[in-house]
Amino acid sequence: MSDTAELKYTPGLSGNESHFFKWLIKVGEDIAEKNRKLLLENRTLQSEIERLKNINFIDETTGIHNKRYLQVRLKEEFARARRHGLPLSALFIDLDDFKAINDTHGHIIGDRLLKEVAAILAGLCRSEDALVRFGGEEFVVLMSDTDDREAVILAERIRKEIAEHLFVYESVEISLTVSLGVSTINDGDFEWVTDPEELIVTADSSMYRAKKSGKNNTCYVPLRPERENPLPSRCAERDYERISW
């Protein structure tokens, strides 16, 4: 054997040491498997929490969001609009004489009608708009970065679409109209409007004014009565002659 040759020696493990290392590896594998299962359970739990949260925000009759969702979304959109100086608008929509429809045709057809109205509204709103069933036969549309002109235009589109739509359920044909109230918080309004609920309250008041004007009508009322009418008279020339101020 050469004097320069390297001698290699690998010490062996005793029986106890070999058993210990095998046990240690097994423990590591078990921990890894438990962690994997725990992670999977956490993901499943989080998905269930999100599902329940979504259910909590969904109206069962119409399938759209409910008033609880509006309360959350309104605060978020109000803060965003104030932070970036953007207008924020709301439509308050009430189905005219809906009680008479329920009394005549029953609540099952009434519920079907509400669901179809919700589908019509969803088709006219933007994906970023918050469409909610406020309660009973009332709906609200919350629109970010939307001024008063744009809000009134959408309100009139909704009014005309529903007035021209024939609701048919088996042998029952129903014609329906809606009254709409419009309100807008403009950039300059944030100096004195501190409660986002004022937007919805004003839209609601505008809707009742539309009701008193003969129903099947759209009414806009500014949050500040002393503020000059921000909508030009030529708006009526765009085939929106039924708008009341």
Q: Which own/partner contact pairs does 205-210 have at CB distance under 8 Å and 24+ positions apart?
A: 205/181, 206/92, 206/180, 206/181, 206/182, 207/92, 207/93, 207/94, 207/179, 207/180, 207/181, 208/181, 209/181, 209/244, 210/179, 210/180, 210/181, 210/244
As a whole number of angstroms, the distance between CA 213 and CA 94 comes to: 14
**pLDDT tens digits for range 2-41:** 444 444 444 555 566 677 777 778 777 888 887 787 787 6
Strands 138-144, 130-135: pairing is antiparallel
**Would you say the C-alpha torsion 63, 64, 65, 67 has a positive or negative sign?**
negative
* CA count, 13 A, side-chain hemisphere, 26: 6
Contact partners, residue 145, CB within 8 Å, separation at least 6:
81, 86, 87, 88
Return the residue matching tokens 């010490």.
Answer: 11
Question: How would residue 222 be classed by pLDDT, with cut points 50, 70 and 90?
Answer: confident
- Of 77, 116, 137, 156, the catalytic one is 137
Is residue 239 a contact partner of residue 224, using CB atoms and an 8 Å limit? no
Helix (H) or strand (E) holding 182: strand 178-185
Q: How far is CA 205 from the centre of its chain?
A: 22
Question: How would residue 226 be classed by pLDDT, with cut points 50, 70 and 90?
Answer: low
Query: What SS3 state is found at 221?
Result: coil
Phi, psi for residue 79 in degrees, rounded to 5: -65, -40
Instruction: Identify the weakest region by mean pLDDT among 32-36, 128-132, 155-159.
Output: 32-36
% residues pLDDT > 70 (the chain)? 79
Q: Is 137 a catalytic residue?
A: yes
pLDDT of residue 239: 38
More confident residue, 35 or 151: 151
Q: Tell the burial category of 231 from Cβ atoms under 10 Å away from its Cβ (0-12, 13-18, 19+).
A: buried
For 29, 163, 243, the CA distances from 211, given in Å and listed in that order, are 71, 15, 12
As a whole number of angstroms, the distance between CA 165 and CA 154 comes to: 16
Is residue 60 a contact partner of residue 119, using CB atoms and an 8 Å limit? no
Instruction: Identify the weakest region by mean pLDDT among 75-79, 111-115, 139-143, 228-232.
Output: 228-232
What average pLDDT does the structure give for the chain? 83
